[in-house]
Structure 1
Amino acid sequence: MTLTSPDVEERTDLAARFDVPWVTVVWDDPVNLMSYVTYVFQSYFGFSHARAERLMRQVHDDGRAIVATGAREAMERHVEAMHGYGLQATVDRAAGPDA
């Protein structure tokens, strides 16, 4: 019979909570048309036209927009997909409540 320590389990849970969430950030670039960025957001993420356009506007006006939040592996897949569409994107840790 194996005994486990509740302290170890709590620390594991705590570490898992700090690992999420991550974000996919799409950056502005001088190459892609705004209509194309809107199309990519609709096609890949399944966003409505209004939401895709709002995010595209944020990319254009602010230089970046967070388009997805979740586990790091999923965000890395999104970034790879954005690169496949020719968009500049990165993965970053989501800002916590103390940020």
Structure 2
Amino acid sequence: MRTLGASPKRAAFQTAQGDLEHASLPWIEQTLAASKRVGAVREDLPTTLLIAVLLGMGEAMDLWLMSQPPNDGTLPELISALLSLIRGAVSA
């Protein structure tokens, strides 16, 4: 498996990722709260843990996707499968 080592690109990615997480955090919190109100998101774990899981999964998926060859035509199915993983992690 190819990984991104310590490099200017990795540092730039981490900075951009941190900025995106900071900007999207209020939306994620509101979405989880609304989803819990309608019973769509699990209640047995703290919201802060669910957010950490979502962000961690997102980072892992981003890094993996960036290490793959350019789109081979299966990207829509792959994205659907990745979203299913996320739903499975937080669904009630």
State TM-score, norm by structure 1.
Answer: 0.29
Higher helix share: 2
State TM-score, norm by structure 2.
Answer: 0.31
Higher strand share: 1
